[in-house]
Amino acid sequence: MIPGFAFLLLLAAGAALAAKDPLRACPEFPAPKNAKLQAVAPQMDYNGIPMSIRRIESKAPPEEILAFYRKEWAATKEIRGPAEYPLGPWQVIASLRGDCFFTVQVKPFGKDGSEGFLGLTAPPNGKVVKEALPMLPGSTVLNDIAHNDAGKTARTVVLKNGFSPAANADFYRRNLGDLGWRVTTHYRMDKPDQKGDVMVLKNGLRELSVTMTRAGSESNVLLNYVDQP
């Protein structure tokens, strides 16, 4: 028997973990027997939405995998049955269980088997606070993805604006320098099909690469932060 005080401590610890990772509050993702699972992105944040992705490989054909999930996610009085739809070469089956959204996409693989991905998303738990991102006026953020793998955190941001790659490079050199970042590499791409600037900066154990390329009248900017604890 767990003493009452110790039990309360365990509950508090579990609540803290769930607050930090909303995916922990979701039901367990079922998997067919003998299927091989591989983590792709165990814990990530996609534009503010908590998400995890695993790869699945099985000797069973896709229809058998789909049948497994049809049974697992069969409709009840409280929960609707799963939705199914094609997506290119993939077949997708998805189900909303409480506040958590489960997605399976599979296609044929090997002689008679199948491969695919298991995706799980959960609603944000409270306000998501991220480091402020320097950008030129008028920039539009297209994607902002953060993930945590084996203790190493990373963040990838894609944005676009109407400034040239050179103007973006000058902006990041000056503004990030004021924030303690030091440029370790900067080179210019000058090929007919690839024009732009690439910079690598460091700030202690943190590293940031910035790739700026021209796309018509706009520039695409890719920033990739990596912490190396």
Domain ranges of the chain: 26-121, 140-226
Contact 202, 177 (CB under 8 A): no
HEC letters along 97-136: ECCEEEEEEEEEECCCEEEEEEEEECCCCCCCCCCCCCCC
Q: List all residues 6 or more positions away from 216 whose beta carbon is below 8 Å from its beta carbon.
A: none
| Pick from 210, 206, 200: nearest CA to 152 | 206
Contact 51, 146 (CB under 8 A): no
Contact 200, 172 (CB under 8 A): no
Residue 48: predicted pLDDT? 78
**CATH architecture of the domain covering 140-226:** 3-Layer(aba) Sandwich (3.40)
Triad 118, 106, 104: Cα angle to 5°: 30
The number of C-alpha atoms within 13 Å of 4 and in the hemisphere containing its C-beta is 0
CA separation, residue 141 to residues 9, 89, 137, 214, 225 (Å): 41, 30, 12, 16, 15
229 residues of the chain, pLDDT tens digit each = 443 333 333 333 333 333 456 788 899 999 999 999 998 888 888 777 888 999 999 999 999 999 999 999 998 888 889 999 999 899 999 999 988 999 999 999 988 999 999 999 988 765 555 677 889 999 998 888 887 766 678 888 999 999 999 999 999 999 998 889 999 999 998 877 778 999 999 999 889 999 999 888 899 999 988 886 5
| CA separation for the pair 115, 38 (Å, rounded) | 11
What is the rounded (10 degree) CA torsion for 40, 55, 122, 134?
30
